[in-house]
Amino acid sequence: MNSVYLPPYVPPDEEYWNSVLEEGPIVNTVCSDSWTWADPPEIPIAVWDEARHLQTNRHIMQLTIDSFNRGGLIAHWKGVECFIPASHILEYPFPADPEAREARFSTYLGRSLRLCIIEVEPLRNRILLSERQIETCEKFEPDWPDWLNAGNTCTGHVTSVRPFGAFVNIGPLEGMIHISEISWGRVRHPQDFLQQGQAVEVLILNVDTAQQRVGLSLKRLTPNPWDTVDRRLRPGDEIEGTIVSVERFGVFMELVTGIEGLLHISAICNGNDPEALNLTQCYSVGQSLRVRVVEIAPREHRIALSLPNEDAGYDFA
């Protein structure tokens, strides 16, 4: 019988496992005994922004291992696949033999590990983490810039816009502009004023470095229109306003930019039963209406209105 040369067995090194990892997300999960191809989910941009923020500040995460592949362990955070390469696990090195290596990895399923982010990869739909770099992350102390103080202004870029406000990356931290700090006028939705990626100049309202939170304001970089309302409006003036809100008790109108007045239902019904009047059937948002200024209370940011040539029966008290 002819002899056949067999080369000596050389166990695969870590580069081999890394190259295998590059081929795709073939995983074995806790819930399945078979190898499957996992379709990557669509992750919101805000999640990637948050991940970069956690990486920058060396934030330590506590994640549960739910699967593994031939290159390392896998966990999930907010729908993102989080991969821990074998070389970044404390018990590294692992057996080179595939079966023994898989058996060792399987002992991690369901275990909770303390990890820190070492790389954020949106294009590959994953985050790389390390267990070995925890000590380095724990010793990390951010160097806050001198300008990061309440009362200073700075520039940044809007990272995400939510119904309650907008998040802005100002460099060392991500701050938030609450919806009440966007404009002196009425803000229905922050998206009407701010868009993701937009460059903005903001005023720093407060800084909490321990919690890494920064409160920002857009509107306070412009004068408060209520400070000069007495020079712009006087009782008895008739003015064309725009309805911005229709409530059960009356109609709010923007008289000039940033200044609203209330046309109370008692000034509309003209002595009739207010309960019988449905204001939504008479008025609509965006409608122009001529009104008369009855009373101005600058400190309370209130203006009482009436219809022209009508006596207003509304009292702030």
- Claim to verify: residue 254 and residue 210 sit in the same structural domain: no
Residue 255 within any structural domain of the chain: yes
Find the domain containing 188 and state its range: 153-221
- Claim to verify: residue 51 and residue 71 sit in the same structural domain: yes
Do the Cβ atoms of 208 and 214 come closer than 8 Å? Answer: yes
- Claim to verify: residue 173 and residue 75 sit in the same structural domain: no
- Claim to verify: residue 260 and residue 273 sit in the same structural domain: yes
- Claim to verify: residue 289 and residue 236 sit in the same structural domain: yes
- Claim to verify: residue 281 and residue 202 sit in the same structural domain: no
- Claim to verify: residue 267 and residue 192 sit in the same structural domain: no
Q: Among 176, 199, 221, identify where a domain stops.
A: 221
Q: Quick one: CA dihedral 240, 244, 247, 252, positive or negative? A: negative
Q: Among 200, 221, 242, identify where a domain stops.
A: 221
Residue 145 within any structural domain of the chain: no
Q: How many separate domains does the chain show?
A: 3
Distances (CA, A) of 98 to 90, 106, 159: 19, 12, 43
Q: Among 115, 138, 161, identify where a domain stops.
A: 138
| pTM for this entry | 0.56
For each of the chain's 317 residues, which pLDDT tens digit applies? 444 444 444 444 555 445 444 444 444 444 445 555 556 668 888 888 889 878 877 889 999 999 999 899 999 999 999 999 999 999 888 888 889 999 999 999 999 999 999 999 988 899 999 999 998 888 877 778 889 899 999 999 998 899 999 999 998 788 999 999 999 988 989 999 999 999 999 999 999 877 778 999 999 999 999 999 989 999 999 999 999 999 988 999 999 988 999 999 888 876 667 676 788 888 999 999 999 999 999 989 999 999 987 544 434 33
Residue 7 within any structural domain of the chain: no
Check residue 183 and give its pLDDT. Answer: 93
Residue 104 within any structural domain of the chain: yes
Residue 12 within any structural domain of the chain: no
Check residue 157 and give its pLDDT. Answer: 93
